Structure 1
Amino acid sequence: MPKPKPAPPAAAVEILREPAEVKYAEELAWLRSIDDGPRPSSWASSPRMVRIFILGSSPSDKLDREVRPKFFGDPSTIERAIVTLASDRGLLLIGDPGTGKSWLAELLAAAICGNSTHVVQGTAGTTEDHIKYSWNVAMVIAAGQSRDSIIPSPIMTAMQGGLMGRFEELTRCSSDVQDALISILSEKYTTIPELKGDNVVFARPGFNIIATANARDRGVNELSSALKRRFNFVQVPVVTNKKTEKEIVLFRTRELLARNRFEVEVPPALLDILLQTFADLREVSAAENSEESRLESALSTAEQIGVLEDAVLHGQFFGEGELAPGMLARSLVGTLARRIPEDVSILNKFWHAQVSKRAKKDNAGWRAFEAAGKQALEHLK
């Protein structure tokens, strides 16, 4: 019998999605090698280099190589987020769905401490154990409760390592669970009452928390006043500038397609059709008085990226290897039509009013986009 092949070394194993500190490891190492700026205790990079890593370099930075931007936003917003993390307060990034809050949190953690993976995902089922610790039941039964039988949460692991802990969708958790963060943020330690001695876990220098919250979830699980005081709120706005939105969509789509080893150039005319359609949808949605008359979708930049990626992949696997207007229209309808028949009715009305109007006075791309969208909507009726 042939001998089984040995497993590849861990470094050679591919992963589906690399965290920012792995994806940009070479760039981060280079930035740190030239970093002579003042930095807070235990930070891997100075605040100036964290800003350059996230927003990209400019001629005034006088670097020997270009650093490409990874987040497109107001520099003052990024600077305030960085300064907050150097203080005693936690950082709460708040904004509409799809504005890049999680991506910004990941970039901040990667640049500051080199590890963005200490993450708690907030849901209705998140418990205090997910924030603090739980127990290895088998070890407790065998030898009783001790430090060795504790299973630390990602937040506790970050505390012990002097790293950044991340808390996604904080307002999706119940108020009792949220308030478990109060002592961690204010006292910088957490107690383990089940242990008689050595029952306090202290945070090491460099520890802080980056949380995110969906602005549309306000009123679901409102943060307590005590917890609000321990966070600095930084608003991540919806991108309204077309040029910036175009850069974001192209940047993120190319990154996502690189996972499948695709390097596809998106025709500028089709990208303009996608951006204009979303802009028109937002305008129509804003003019409606009733929620029932609006799409369930947030019409975010993230959804544009999803539509474009879906259309490109469809063209690669089932088309002629290129993006076509029809594929773009079908992907858009498939992404945005979530409630049937409500969203289908809203999109159908929009298509016959707005898209048809543009198709009559514009090029063949709009006409093909119009026809394919109408066909896709007919299939959903």
Structure 2
Amino acid sequence: MSNELLRAPAEVKYADELDWLESVDDGPKPFSWRLSPKMVRLFILGSERADGLDREIPQKWFGDRSFVERAIVTLASDRGLLLIGDPGTGKSWLAELLAAAISRNSTLVVQGTAGTTEDHIKYSWNVSMVIAKGQSRQSMIPSPIMTAMENGVIGRFEELTRSTSDVQDALISILSEKYVSIPELDEDNIVFAKPGFSIIATANSRDRGVNDLSSALKRRFNFVRIPVVTNKKSEAEIVRFRTEELLRRHNIELEVPPTLLDVLLQSFADLRAASASATSDDERLESALSTAEQIGVLEDAILHSNFFGAAALTSQTLASSLVGSLARRSPEDLAILNKYWHGVIEPRSKDAGGEWNGFLEGGRQAIATLS
């Protein structure tokens, strides 16, 4: 089934793994959890030889083990979990994996925006049914959060700080009282949360000041801060993992040379260092330079090579993809990239040669085209 979907949710994509883990799991399970906490951690972080399993479980999220363990413990305590960090740190992916392992359903999601209303986290009404038969539980449309409450599973709230204070306040009673009242009904007018219900929310740490969380709502969540991946080995594993998924999804047989991956990682490390030392926003790229953006750059280069190239990834194509992806403001970002190409890439290509020569030329051409 997962092959028929553009992007299968984790519980569909890894259904076979989850079925197998459930069949061998003899650990204690909180509430209505499908897997024990140890198996949830193993599903997310992958198996090791010491686990003594008959089957290898690949790692799906790359980060500190303590973050995953704290997240699992929070959900086992029925408190809300807030994953906070910079864009591209894997918050949403971790939330999806947790919901898939615990509830086998990661799709009960509310997306926080300026247009998100209280109805999106509580309920709304089927207008035609209300006109025909009046207001009743049958004519009510439950939100994903209410559905999670009724089924005792995990609900997700993406980009919590992008929603207004009214919406955030509505979450306080849900997290505190664990029920939603329906004043329009005379009978059967309270929906109680079943054991196992909890909420995993995500928040972008760069959104401070958009809609700051109230102290009351903060108390209802345990915070887990997900840092930007700075370890080059870990970042390479993430990019390689995601790239292999991309190649499988598109049925592309194209090799990503390790030397080109090193060029990509080093370029992002250089640009991050330059951004950190910049004294004004005009001297910083608008891009967050996250691992997710690295993956996007590589994906763009792979698809371009597959459809318009010689079915081989080159350093010129990679450079063109990087410039095209990161040059969002004109002329500010183009000036920053041009300075980087002349001040860093050009000397490096003279000293190291190899893939850096093609990377230098490809970037120059891309910058000239966009200027």
TM-score tier (shorter) = over 0.9
Cα distance in 2 between the residues matched to 1:13 and 1:292: 44
Structure 2: gaps of 5 or more residues: none
Aligned length: 371
Q: Which digits, 9 at most, give the CA deviation of each residue in 1:156-196, with x for residues without a partner?
A: 11111111000000000011111111111111100111111
Cα distance in 2 between the residues matched to 1:370 and 1:205: 58
Indicate which of 83, 90, 112 corresponds to 2:80. Answer: 90
Cα distance in 1 between the residues matched to 2:163 and 2:300: 31
Once the two structures are TM-superposed, the CA of residue 291 in structure 1 deviates from its matched residue by 1.2
Report what 1:260 is aligned to: 250
Once the two structures are TM-superposed, the CA of residue 197 in structure 1 deviates from its matched residue by 1.5
Once the two structures are TM-superposed, the CA of residue 13 in structure 1 deviates from its matched residue by 7.8
Once the two structures are TM-superposed, the CA of residue 12 in structure 1 deviates from its matched residue by 9.0
Cα distance in 1 between the residues matched to 2:229 and 2:355: 25
Amino acid at match of 1:267: P
SS in 1 for 2:97: helix
Report what 2:185 is aligned to: 195
Cα distance in 1 between the residues matched to 2:140 and 2:204: 32
Are the counterparts in 1 of residues 232 and 265 from structure 2 also a CA contact under 8 Å? yes
SS in 1 for 2:138: helix
Report what 1:81 is aligned to: 71
SS in 1 for 2:297: helix
Are 2:176 and 1:177 equivalent residues in the alignment? no
Indicate which of 21, 29, 33 corresponds to 2:11. Answer: 21
Correspondences of 1:241-320 after superposition (within 5 Å): 241-320=231-310
Report what 2:135 is aligned to: 145
Q: Which digits, 9 at most, give the CA deviation of each residue in 1:296-341, with x for residues without a partner?
A: 0000000000000110111110011010001000100010011111
Are the counterparts in 2 of residues 101 and 212 from structure 1 also a CA contact under 8 Å? yes
Report what 2:357 is aligned to: 367
Once the two structures are TM-superposed, the CA of residue 104 in structure 1 deviates from its matched residue by 0.2
Q: Which digits, 9 at most, give the CA deviation of each residue in 1:220-275, with x for residues without a partner?
A: 10001110000000011110100000000000111123221124321011000000
Cα distance in 1 between the residues matched to 2:201 and 2:303: 33
Report what 2:25 is aligned to: 35
Report what 1:7 is aligned to: none
Are the counterparts in 2 of residues 254 and 264 from structure 1 also a CA contact under 8 Å? no
Cα distance in 2 between the residues matched to 1:150 and 1:258: 41
Question: Residues 243 and 13 of structure 1: is their aligned pair in 2 closer, same or farther, counting only changes over 3 Å?
Answer: closer
Report what 2:58 is aligned to: 68
Q: CA RMSD in A?
A: 1.0
Amino acid at match of 1:27: E
Report what 1:5 is aligned to: none
Are the counterparts in 2 of residues 254 and 263 from structure 1 also a CA contact under 8 Å? no
Are the counterparts in 2 of residues 181 and 227 from structure 1 also a CA contact under 8 Å? yes
Are the counterparts in 2 of residues 113 and 163 from structure 1 also a CA contact under 8 Å? yes
Structure 1: gaps of 5 or more residues: 1-10
Once the two structures are TM-superposed, the CA of residue 88 in structure 1 deviates from its matched residue by 2.8
Report what 1:123 is aligned to: 113
Correspondences of 1:322-333 after superposition (within 5 Å): 322-333=312-323
Are 2:46 and 1:56 equivalent residues in the alignment? yes
Report what 1:229 is aligned to: 219
Are the counterparts in 1 of residues 2 and 8 from structure 2 also a CA contact under 8 Å? no
Q: Which digits, 9 at most, give the CA deviation of each residue in 1:23-49, with x for residues without a partner?
A: 000011111111001110100000000
SS in 2 for 1:210: strand
Indicate which of 25, 45, 53 corresponds to 2:35. Answer: 45
Report what 1:337 is aligned to: 327
SS in 2 for 1:312: helix
Cα distance in 1 between the residues matched to 2:24 and 2:43: 13
Amino acid at match of 1:117: T
Are 2:346 and 1:356 equivalent residues in the alignment? yes
Are the counterparts in 1 of residues 2 and 12 from structure 2 also a CA contact under 8 Å? no
Cα distance in 1 between the residues matched to 2:107 and 2:22: 20
Amino acid at match of 2:320: R
